[in-house]
Amino acid sequence: MAKVVCVLYDDPIDGYPKSYARDDLPKIDHYPGGQTLPTPKATDFQPGTLLGSVSGELGLRKYLEENGHTLIVTSDKDGPDSVLEREIVDADVVISQPFWPAYLTAERIAKAKNLKLALTAGIGSDHVDLQAAIDGGVTVAEVTYCNSISVAEHVVMMILGLVRNYIPSYQWVVKGGWNIADCVTRSYDVEGMHVGTVAAGRIGLAVLKRLKPFDMHLHYTDRHRLPEAVEKELGLTWHATREEMYEVCDVVTLNCPLHPETEHMINDETLKRFKRGAYLVNTARGKLCDRDAIARALESGQLAGYAGDVWFPQPAPKDHPWRSMPHHGMTPHISGTSLSAQTRYAAGTREILECFFEGRPIRDEYLIVDGGKLAGTGAHSYSAGNATGGSEEAAKFKRG
């Protein structure tokens, strides 16, 4: 029988909700492109409830305990005295969400002698040292597509929020003011602007599709080019290099995974290639950007705005400069954990666990590492190596 350690974010400060703003979720059968939603044999939760926090337990307890497994759920994940550090030693499975990542460094993987499966309840397994997982024969799986559209919606919201200067204008209302000039001196229309995505995978392409009706000029760069028919339908301009794309864009959005090839790809040097006053939206991973270079670019005016929901490490320390830099629209890491998304990735987590425990193959599209190598989606979109360096800094949040 297995021991499953599940690392989830804390419950709301007022306690686990007793009621919700809405009674149900819209029914969605397929993702764009035809991939089916998760297909576990059963689920033990009410769709639309809070599953991603400690008391929600991703709806897994009944299923795991009825099958004789042990489930440990904790939010205490960072530092040598954490519950995760203690429990990982004999864990067979570690489940973690990117919003509150259980950093599985090489040291932790070496300590976890029984670890067979690192399961990401969401998308993006960069919190796992993939090289160490490859070397240690640990399977890494994530719930591909579960929250791609959730994030795409967030990206569009953030682009509009920055360009139209929404957040400062909202704050004038809350403060009791009517300062129209203060609001509009940084407010523009997106119509006619050039917007480019680094990566046109599930999220990047969904962002482009959603921005098309705004009559923006659409650009992308990716390792693999989209089918010609898609480029034509959306009127896309493809760029062979990121830098070439930055030079023509008013808005840039990052939608690629974090892996050694993409770490710190936005830095002082690459920011010089941006148009002055460009907007940058990053909901992919904080470490795609050099933290201090972003703050410097906002202070100098090279960037007119920066928004996103991803930081490094997570949770971000209280003195993280992205909390206080000018013209930002940051949120905690929430875009992929709407209640709608949670329902899908909790079901996907259950599907992966059922496959794992019943000895059935995990869907190829969910695999990142398997059998000692990158596999499935991982083989297509990631590169081997480690992007967890510096994650021990996350323990600073506790002390901050």
Q: Are strands 303-308 and 328-330 parallel, antiparallel or unpaired?
A: parallel
Catalytic residue among 97, 131, 255, 314: 314
**Position 224 contacts ligand NDP (CB under 6 A):** yes
Helix (H) or strand (E) segment spanning residue 293: helix 291-300
Of 223 and 323, the one with the shorter C-beta distance to ligand NDP is 223
CA distance 383 to 74: 30
**Position 123 contacts ligand NDP (CB under 6 A):** yes
**Position 283 contacts ligand NDP (CB under 6 A):** yes
Closest contact distance (angstroms) between CB of 290 and ligand NDP is 16
Catalytic residue among 131, 147, 255, 282: 147
Catalytic residue among 242, 285, 291, 363: 285
**Position 5 contacts ligand NDP (CB under 6 A):** no
**Position 148 contacts ligand NDP (CB under 6 A):** yes
The interface mask with ligand NDP, positions 352-381, x = CB under 6 A, is -------------------------x--xx
Tokens of 285: 């991973």
Of 169 and 255, the one with the shorter C-beta distance to ligand NDP is 255
30-68 b/e (C-beta count within 10 Å ≥ 16 → b)? ebeeeeebbebeebebebbebbbbbebbbbbbebbeeee
CA distance 213 to 209: 8
**Position 264 contacts ligand NDP (CB under 6 A):** no
84, 199, 266, 316: which one binds ligand NDP (CB under 6 A): 199
| E strand segments, 109-264 | 117-120, 139-142, 194-198, 217-221, 236-238, 251-254
161, 336, 376, 378: which one binds ligand NDP (CB under 6 A): 336
CA distance 255 to 283: 7
**380 noted as active-site residue:** no
**67 noted as active-site residue:** no
| Phi and psi angles of residue 140, each rounded to the nearest 5 degrees, phi first | -115, 125
**285 noted as active-site residue:** yes
**Position 310 contacts ligand NDP (CB under 6 A):** yes
Of 257 and 348, the one with the shorter C-beta distance to ligand NDP is 257
**Position 335 contacts ligand NDP (CB under 6 A):** yes
92 closest CA partner among 110, 67, 118? 118
314 closest CA partner among 385, 257, 390? 390
**Residues noted as catalytic:** 147, 285, 314, 333
Residues that bind ligand NDP (CB under 6 A): 122-124, 147-148, 151, 198-204, 221-224, 255-258, 261-262, 283-285, 309-310, 333, 335-336, 377, 380-381
